[in-house]
Amino acid sequence: MESYVAVIADIKKSRQSCNGTFTQEKFLEVIDKINKKYKNSISSNFTINSGDSFQGLLHNGSKIMEILIGLELKLYPLKIRFGMGIGSIDTAIYKENSNLIDGEAYRIARYNLEQIKESEKKKERVITNHKIGKKNTNLSLINALFSLISIIKNNWSENQVQVIKVYTENNYQQQTTAQQLGKVQSTISRSLESSQFYSLKDSFKVLNEYIEKERL
What pLDDT, on a 0 to 100 scale, did the predictor assign at position 25?
A: 87
The predicted-structure confidence for 39-53, as pLDDT tens digits, reads as follows: 999 999 999 987 789
Quote the percentage of the chain above a pLDDT of 90: 88
pLDDT for the residue 14 = 58
The stretch 29-45 carries a mean pLDDT of 97
What pLDDT is stored for residue 21 in this prediction? 57
pLDDT confidence of residue 22: 66
Instruction: Give one DSSP letter per residue of the chain, joined into a string.
Output: ---EEEEEEEETTHHHHHHHH--HHHHHHHHHHHHHHTTTTEEEEEEE-SSSEEEEEES--TTHHHHHHHHHHHHTTS-EEEEEEEE---S---TT-GGG--SHHHHHHHHHHHHHHHHHT-SS----SEEEEETTB--HHHHHHHHHHHHHHTT--HHHHHHHHHHHHTTT-HHHHHHHHT--HHHHHHHHHHTTHHHHHHHHHHHHHHHHHHH-
Choice between 72 and 126, residue whose per-residue pLDDT is larger: 72
- Which domains does the chain show, CATH number per domain? 4-154 (3.30.70.270)
pLDDT digits (tens, 9 = 90+) for 143-182: 999 999 999 999 999 999 999 999 999 999 999 999 999 9
